[in-house]
Structure 1
């Protein structure tokens, strides 16, 4: 049998490019856009087509022309061009982008045959595609810029090795799109840059040129769009240098981003050991997370804390070592969060006898928090089973205190020992003192400790808390403390100079000090004890004559001293606390506190301001002011305190005024206007305590009653005119809000739909069940229209017209018919007498007038002459027309 001869395979001709290729490529893309399930099959088929096209060449005098490749590339790009104008969110276009990215990766992997110059089919194809897409990054159409940036970011991982020129062009194109005006484009640019980051060599950058990492960090810190900041966060490495920037995002305005920081960036998967963060950074993360207003963020933060516990091998003491419990502000919150998320941890806690032998700050802290948590859960049985009896614990406290004294005597740092003693004293507050032996031991020990002149100041309140719990009455407690103070002042012996170690440290090696200074130190200690006592009792001083001796002997001399500022300051605080529980003493001493508003330094002024406002809250104001100033001049006094130069004093005064106004003790509109002006003034931008107080107070004050909203309405026009001058006084200040925004905030505060209580002056027998004065924004509309008639400033008129769309006008049956006519008349008068020159304000006024006609059908028959004639009988109508005629 003769052998069969294999036919040579025929190379495709140029006709394949014109006849077959146009009918093969479009169906592939059409299938790819419908579902991703067929992408793999179509990628293989498309690669075969590309291979076939690559075989079609032409020989010319200059060499071989790759006509097949060019035809394939041109038709491929033509298919892509149909997708580029499609807006974001269209699924068919997204599938095509994914298909293209997958194909680029596949053809780069498959085409390993290199030509003589090292240039391959895939490299030529990819280079052509990238050049085309980069050209589209400058397109005017937002959708085109989005699609090309999305496609570039998607195919980067599949490019393989690219030459330097292509890398530079791609990098620059994405850097430009990172500053695009469209946030969706910036998102894709951030994703693409993150993929390029690994190939960047910092040494190759020119001087002053930003690295990709710096650009992404800048997007995370400063981009206005939350989705861009999220994209940047997702693609940042968790390096030690970048973690501080990531931590700042725990205060981001976007809750999703805040949650992502805790769940992703700071989670155990991304951060295997939390100790790469400093203690301060850990505390910041816990404080911001557990204090977040969003439940989802708090939950993510709790998950992060649980992850730290796992990293500590589920050992509570190792977990607490992640914090500096001695000075930590959030270690307790973190531990309580762990008790909630890992309840089995609480179940496993036990305190055997050996636990108490060698106490560390973490051990004492854990025992105290555990006891307080059990008490909050009303789980007294668990607490009783876990803790030793009172008597045993009293001996432990005595031992720890002896160690504290020993450490201080050896000039060692006593802070840790003082903390342990303090935690144990807080722990015993959770105990039941039914055991008389334990009660007596604890009482005697606490009494002995507070009488020691070298007891650290931080432990004075702790001893007082124990004595208060054990004492049978406030009178017994006062008698006890008076005895302690008397002993201290009459006792002998040197004490340490507080300047040598600071007030709050334990006594070190004693050294002789002058007798007067020694007496001042003792008196300062006694005043601190008296302050702690007065903060814990409410019994009037008339019922505790035993305390009266301390006033002329200790407190008054301290207030009058001129040589010991610290003594004077504490004396004033002590006197203020005495006045809080004794109205007669308060009225006698009030003039002294007023005097200190001008005589004292800023630190003392803060305390004086707090005392004054506390006395206003507790006692009858006319009684306090009798013989000093007229009661009606309290507003002047309040404004004087609010307008203090020192920021800390001003912030304390603002807090006091806010309390008085929220309780209705001050209802003056001038004071309210002062607060609003301070809130908007750039001068107070750096005074965060003041700003935070007013940020809370102003909306709460207004929403709490319609009467308060009416008061805000009464100052609206005048305040708006005042804040409009800020543009001249603070020109160029970054802290100056736009006039439109300031006015909108006031409009919102007056919104009747947000009021929760209606003032008495707005109630009638028929509407006693209503919850707000629905006509407030109609009243505001009249004020706004009057402003348009009287004001000529362009910025004010433009801002005012922008408020009309934010008004919550009352329903037809709730509106005052006269007010609707007045508003309509004023709107028409603005058009006739003071027409608006710009299109947008005119449109806003027309829309508001149309709203009036639609919402209040009675205005359809409105006649100006008839309404004017009503002025003969209606004084309000006559005043309205008089106002209009005077314009």
Structure 2
């Protein structure tokens, strides 16, 4: 738009948009001027704004229109505004920023136009009341929100939002407010999500979040009214993520709505989870949440798959810290660090990473630490060691000082009142943090290192007194003895000293002995099984395996498993015993044995131990047959473990079993496994990673699907696992997994040289349908649906498919016929395009051997086509 615009109202009128002039000076008018001239100037202002201008000039144009309105009179003024608003209301979506500018202009214009008549002056008895022109125009917009045109409904709601925003400083009658609320409560369920969003924004403006008659809890009003109910319903059940997001951002937090906010933190869409965490961080204090809620909230937020959600969760923690006067210890108090150490550590790490504050420990009294202070000190020191070497001198203690603290709290533990278990737990927790810190410090100080070594050995020998110290003690041993040989030798010496206390007759001492062993050997990449103490150690483990204490048997099995994974001879020796446990022991122990079996398969089947000539060739198949039995287990955890084991074998290409992959597909689409979250999550990750990593894997997925259709479902749906599967959903998922565009870049190049996986599926599906190998109705319907979704690229496969589709004479179902008609139309168009482009060089057809025998007569009539048999 030009900087200077001139518009003649008559010979005596000149409007200039230049600085330094009042509206009256720009609008010198003759009172006898014709009304049409004013309307022309009215129109000119809309044209100028539509062309583009700044916020300042929009407000200037609004003042000019207000002044023109005072000359035209209320009725003519509102009529003029309505006539200029109609094109705006009918503007399609994506019309650009000009629509927004025009709506802003209208909103500013009608807020408080000048009035000159005595009648209008009497109507505005209160300067803060909204003028009659604005009320009339709002009524016009409200009527248009019920239009049959979705564009008119949307623009009317948008315009109302602009108007109410401009009316924030003026009094609107309760009747008008109620009318807007009633109409928007209807529009909140409009079929168009954009209209629902605008309706929610209007409802947020007309809703009074303060109800003096309601009770309060946690600093909020226990707000529950029809408008809040709408927000809750849309947040919980609307199918549009943008609507759920908007409702979250506008819904007032209260005792009633807080559970809704928390549930949306687990929404399937990233934008909704992001809005939930941002809203909670800005409008909800940590004290308003229950212990369980805040723990689950932080745990899920910091481990979210979206980096934006993780950042929002960290910001939420920093906001909570601000409300606690920047005191981390006060904030940690809300997370009960002794019971929830892992979450509390994550909270501190997130704050240290996200906040610019220079955290320090100067205010901590080391001789009087509490649980929060000890954890804070440990995590801060670890953070400094990892990120800021310049602050090490300021923050980190020496090993000698740390040993003094350990001895101090150890003495407190033994001198505290025996009945006061809370004090003992707190002291042990503080010692645990000090040991974790010691495992990270520089061990070059010889005096401090020697003192720490002696203290660690004393604590290991008396471990049944301090069961919480197992993990940090192992970390200290690793730090003090970097050599694996020296570390192992030291550890067996400590175990020998422990065994001299007769642990078999002291269950608590034996439990600590076994748990410490698990912690220690899990940290070793290779366990030295040739050491002399190993034989005696294994004998003691086997004795415990025969005991009657289930917890001790489980720990013994975990220890035995670590040794078996390090030595094939031990695995061969104890494998029959592991299988016996699978058959007869308690469920928790069976689950551990099943996990061990899966680990053994991955360890030795993928990399067979070469020095041993007696390694059986059937090892993998034998163990897979055992895992196959547990795929249909009634125990959810056993079934999930078996699924994970089979999936790992398949993804490492150790097996290309069509039968196993087909069973995993059935389990994923079986409605009876919906409650098995671990199984569903494992398979939801496995299938995309497996199928999209290579063309060979895509073909294996396709063959598994064809196997299900042609052999399993042909038997009928009498078996429960088959009747609970929606085959058409399975077919659509398979088409997605085998789509050529989803392959990794290096694998896509292979499809350019030959046909893609969909070409292979195309011929196999049609040939099975023609040969009546698929007799189940649901499977036939799913096959026809899949045909319409395939993306074929081979002209020869398409030509053969046209020949096959004409032979399908047994399909009388309307749905199947409709699918086949659509498929045939797409196929003919593809063949026609191939012929036009002279794409005759792609004359190779890929089929299975049994399919080739069935299609041989048909292929004989098609010249210049070579057949390649799939060897899969």
TM-score normalised by structure 2 residue count: 0.79
Cα gap change, 1:520/1:357 in structure 2, threshold over 3 Å: closer, same or farther?
Answer: closer
- From 532, 537, 543, the equivalent of 1:545 is 532
Of 651-660 and 334-343, deviating more is 334-343
Deviations 1:29-49 (A, max 9, x none): 555544565544554454455
User: After the TM superposition, which residues 95-244 of structure 1 pair with which residues of structure 2 at under 5 Å, given as runs?
Assistant: 95-107=101-113, 113-114=121-122, 125-157=133-165, 158=167, 160-163=170-173, 165-198=175-208, 211-239=226-254, 242-244=257-259
Partner secondary structure for residue 434 of structure 1:
coil
For residue 846 of structure 1, report the CA deviation from its aligned partner.
1.3
Moved more, 303-312 or 647-656: 303-312
Q: Give the 3 Å change call, closer, same or farther, for CA 108–590 of structure 1 in structure 2.
A: farther
Q: Which residue of 2 aligns with 1:694?
A: 683
Shift of 1:822: 2.7
* 2:470 alignment partner in structure 1: 460
With over 3 angstroms needed to count, the CA separation of the structure-2 counterparts of 1:788 and 1:404, relative to structure 1, is farther
Could you tell me how far apart the structure 2 residues matched to 1:462 and 1:364 are?
14
Residues of 2 paired with 1:92 and 1:324: CA distance?
55
Rounded to whole Å, the distance in 1 between the matches of 2:453 and 2:129 is 91
Q: What is the distance in 2 between the residues matched to 1:631 and 1:261? A: 48
Task: Give how far 1:183 is off.
Answer: 0.8
Other-structure match for 2:90: 85
Please state if 1:594 is matched with 2:575: no
Distance 1:724 1:163 in 2: 70
**Deviation readout 1:345-396 (Å, 9 max, x if unpaired):** 2xx64669x753222333332333344334445x667546643332332222
Aligned to 2:421: 412
Give unmatched runs, 5+ long, in structure 2: 1-29, 215-222, 863-872
Alpha-carbon offset, residue 179 of structure 1: 0.6
Matched, 1:572 2:586: no
1:555 matches 2:568: no
Q: Shift of residue 779 of structure 1?
A: 0.8
> Equivalences for 1:290-301 in 2 at 5 Å?
290-301=302-313
CA distance in 2, matches of 1:122, 1:82: 25
Give the equivalent residue in structure 2 for 1:58. none
Pairs within 5 Å for 1:654-803: 654-719=643-708, 740-756=728-744, 775-786=756-767, 789=770, 790=772, 800=783, 803=786
Contact 1:798 1:841 in 2 (8 A): no
Spell out, residue by residue over 1:153-201, the C-alpha distance to the aligned partner (whole angstroms, 9 max, x if none): 3333539555555444322211111111111111110011001111896
Asked whether the 8 Å contact 2:92–2:151 carries over to 1, the reply is yes
Q: Give the distance between the partners of 2:346 and 2:128, measured in 1 at CA.
A: 62
Verify the 8 A CA contact 1:658 1:697 in the aligned structure 2. Answer: yes
Structure 1 residues 115-124 or 273-282, which shifts more?
Answer: 115-124
The Cα offsets for residues 425-465 of structure 1, whole Å up to 9 and x where unpaired, read as: 12122233333333332222111112115423221232223
Q: Name the CA distance, whole Å, in 1 between partners of 2:856 and 2:490.
A: 74
Q: How far off is 1:411 after superposition?
A: 2.6
**After superposition, what is the alpha-carbon deviation per residue over 1:603-637, rounded to whole angstroms, capped at 9, x for unaligned?**
22221111111122223599999999986443321
- Helix, strand or coil: the match of 1:88? coil
- Post-superposition CA distance 1:721-749 (Å, at most 9, x none): 77999999999x9xx99655432322222
| Distance across 1 between alignment mates of 2:497 and 2:38 | 107
| 2:314 matches 1:335 | no
- Counterpart CA distance in 2 for 1:218 and 1:479 is 64
Asked if the contact 2:203/2:227 (under 8 Å) is kept, the reply is yes
SS of residue paired to 1:450:
helix
Give the deviation of 1:116 after TM superposition: 12
Match of 1:609 among 594, 604, 615: 594
Q: For 1:633 and 1:107, how far apart are their aligned partners in 2?
A: 88
Task: Name the SS of the counterpart of 1:173 in structure 2.
Answer: helix
* Candidates 368, 382, 390, aligned match of 1:358: 368
Distance change >3 Å, CA 602–CA 880, structure 1 → 2: farther
Structure 2 residue 626 is the aligned partner of structure 1 residue 637: yes
> Could you give the per-residue CA deviations for residues 492-529 of structure 1, whole angstroms, max 9, x where no partner exists?
8xx9xxxxxxxxxxxxxxxxxxxx9x633433333223
Deviations, residues 808-847 of structure 1 (Å, cap 9, x unaligned):
545xxxx5x7545433433454599889766575234312
Deviation at 1:484, TM superposition (A): 4.4
- Aligned residue number for residue 822 of structure 1: 800
The partner residue of 2:511 within 521, 524, 538 is 524
Measured after TM superposition, the shift of residue 694 of structure 1 is 1.1
Greater mean deviation of Cα atoms: 452-461 or 156-165: 156-165
Conserved in 2, the CA contact under 8 Å of 1:555 and 1:575? yes
Residue 377 of structure 2 corresponds to 367
Q: Deviations over 1:759-801 (max 9, x none)?
A: 9xx9xxxx9x999975222112223434664568887666555
- Structure 1 321/615 Cα, relative in aligned 2: closer, same or farther at 3 Å? same
State how far apart, in whole Å, the 2-side matches of 1:375 and 1:122 are.
63
Distance between the aligned counterparts of 2:565 and 2:344, measured in 1?
Answer: 34
Does structure 1 conserve the Cα–Cα contact (< 8 Å) formed by 2:337 and 2:371? yes
> Is the 2:361–2:377 Cα contact (8 Å) retained in structure 1?
no
Evaluate the alpha carbon distance shift between residue 189 and residue 538 of structure 1 in structure 2; reply closer, same or farther with a 3 A threshold: closer
- Whole-Å separation in 2 of the counterparts to 1:229 and 1:93: 26
Note the residue ranges of structure 1 that are not aligned, 5 or more in a row. 1-10, 55-68, 496-515
TM-score, length of structure 1 as denominator length: 0.77
The 5-angstrom pairing of residues 283-322 of structure 1 reads 283-318=295-330, 320-321=332-333
Match of 2:279 in 1: 265
Change in Cα spacing, 1:277 to 1:822, as seen in structure 2 (3 Å) is same
**Equivalent residue number for residue 65 of structure 1:** none
Deviation at 1:330, TM superposition (A): 3.6
Once residues 24 and 725 of structure 1 are traced to their aligned partners in structure 2, the CA distance between those partners, rounded to angstroms, is 81
Q: 1:401 matched to which residue of 2? A: 410
**How many residues get paired?**
800
Residue-by-residue CA offset, 1:218-274 (whole Å, 9 max, x unaligned): 223322223222322332334565444334444444444444445x52455x56x55
The CA deviation at 1:301 is 3.9
Contact 1:756 1:771 in 2 (8 A): no
Task: Indicate whether 1:438 and 2:448 are aligned.
Answer: yes
- Larger displacement relative to structure 2 (73-82 or 138-147): 73-82
The CA RMSD over aligned residues, in Å, is 4.7
- Taking the aligned partners of 2:512 and 2:400, their CA distance within structure 1 comes to 29
Listed as ranges, the matches of 1:55-66 within 5 Å are none
Bigger mean CA deviation after superposition, 295-304 or 442-451: 295-304
SS in 1 for 2:163: helix
Q: Give the Cα separation in 2 of the matches to 1:469 and 1:241.
A: 52
| CA distance in 2 between partners of 1:183 and 1:283 (Å) | 34
The Cα of 1:400 is off from its aligned counterpart by: 1.9
For 1:117 and 1:540, the matched residues in 2 are separated by 91
Alpha-carbon distance in 2 for matches of 1:45, 1:857:
64
CA shift, 1:335, in A, is 3.2
TM-fit CA distance, 1:340: 3.8
Q: Say whether the 8 Å CA contact 2:399–2:441 is kept in structure 1.
A: yes
What's the offset of the Cα at 1:530?
3.1
